[in-house]
Amino acid sequence: MLSIKNLHASVEGKEILKGINLEIKAGEVHAIMGPNGSGKSTLSQVLAGNEAFEVTEGEVTLNGENLLELETEERAREGIFLAFQYPVEIPGVSNLQFLRTAVNAMRTHRGEPEMNAAEFMKLAKEVSKQVDLDPAFLKRGVNEGFSGGEKKRNEILQALLLQPKLAILDETDSGLDIDALKVVSDGVNALRAEDRAILMVTHYQRLLNHIVPDYVHVLAGGRIIKSGGRELALELEERGYGWLGIKEDEAAAAN
């Protein structure tokens, strides 16, 4: 589904990704782990098409199509979804209006009729229950005054509504208490499907107790230095990043 070859990317002239190679097939769940500053968030931003980052080398294809040539919104319509680490607020724009606009943009792209307000309200209410968000949140401004946990649940709500082909979750577990983590994980597990891939970016392995990945990759210094199965995450938890020759503080300082 997703194929990344020798991807290099920089921000403000500084190279962050230094040759990433990764293959993700439909139905798979991949976890990317690594210390702070290793380039994890950059990878997710680059895949989603954030123009603050410049791709200097390499290629990325989604189902054979060159992803890097597409605008951000075109990538989204092709099925790339990014759950943000720090979702921004859009004051005055109701969550419901925002979500319906997004869902209808996707439907129009697929040649399906737009959903009217009543139909969408019904769907959105059902899905908000799934992530334990009071439907009252639908009427509030996008992320306006939401707590950290509510913002994260709102991201998963969006993924469930948009039904992407590839869902990228950027540090979705950060700032969540154990109950919220459970709710969010259940939401992500509900996304698992044969025709969908999930790419989780996380610093800690605790999320992986709830969402069990098929593959785990360790990112450090802008490269994937080790790949393995679920057991790699457990090993990292036990031994830290040090045994792979990574000094976490140094990596962070470099940024």
Strand order of the sheet with strand 197-202?
A: 80-83, 166-170, 197-202, 29-33, 215-220, 223-228
Q: Report the relative pairing of strands 215-220 and 2-11 from DSSP bridges.
A: unpaired
Binding segment toward other proteins, per CB under 8 A, in 80-88, 121-129, 180-188, 199-207: 80-88
Say whether residue 77 binds other proteins (CB under 8 A): yes
According to the binding rule CB under 8 A, does residue 113 interact with other proteins? no
Report if residue 50 touches other proteins, rule: CB under 8 A. yes
CA dihedral sign of residues 140, 145, 147, 152 = positive
- Closer residue to other proteins in complex, CB, 162/244: 162
**Does residue number 68 form part of the binding site for other proteins (CB under 8 A)?**
no
- Closest contact distance (angstroms) between CB of 110 and other proteins is 10
Q: Which CB, 145 or 245, lies closer to other proteins?
A: 145
The yes or no reply on residue 48 touching other proteins (CB under 8 A) is yes
Q: Between 91 and 245, name the residue whose CB sits nearer to other proteins.
A: 91
Say how far apart CA 189 and CA 231 lie, in whole Å.
Answer: 19
The nearer residue to other proteins, 21 or 174, going by C-beta atoms, is 174
Task: Report the site for other proteins in 154-173 (rule: CB under 8 A).
Answer: 158, 162
Helices vs strands, H then E, count in the chain: 9, 12
> Should residue 11 be labelled a site residue for other proteins when binding is judged by CB under 8 A?
no
71 is an interface residue for other proteins by CB under 8 A: yes
- CA atoms within 13 Å, Cβ hemisphere of 148: 11
Asked whether position 84 contacts other proteins by CB under 8 A, the answer is: yes
> With binding defined as CB under 8 A, does residue 123 bind other proteins?
no
* Binding residues with other proteins: total (CB under 8 A): 31
**Helix, strand, coil percent values for the chain (each to nearest 5):** 40, 30, 30
Amino acid at 81: F
Of 33 and 156, nearer to other proteins (C-beta) is 156
* DSSP assigned state of 194: T
Q: Which residue has the tokens 């500053």?
A: 37
177: contact with other proteins by CB under 8 A: no
By CB under 8 A, name the one of 13, 64, 91, 113 that touches other proteins. Answer: 91
Interface residue with other proteins among 26, 68, 90, 115 (CB under 8 A) is 90
CB atoms within 10 A of CB 38: 30
Q: Which residues bind other proteins (CB under 8 A)?
A: 48-52, 71-73, 76-77, 80-82, 84, 87-88, 90-93, 97-98, 101-102, 105-106, 109, 141-142, 158, 162
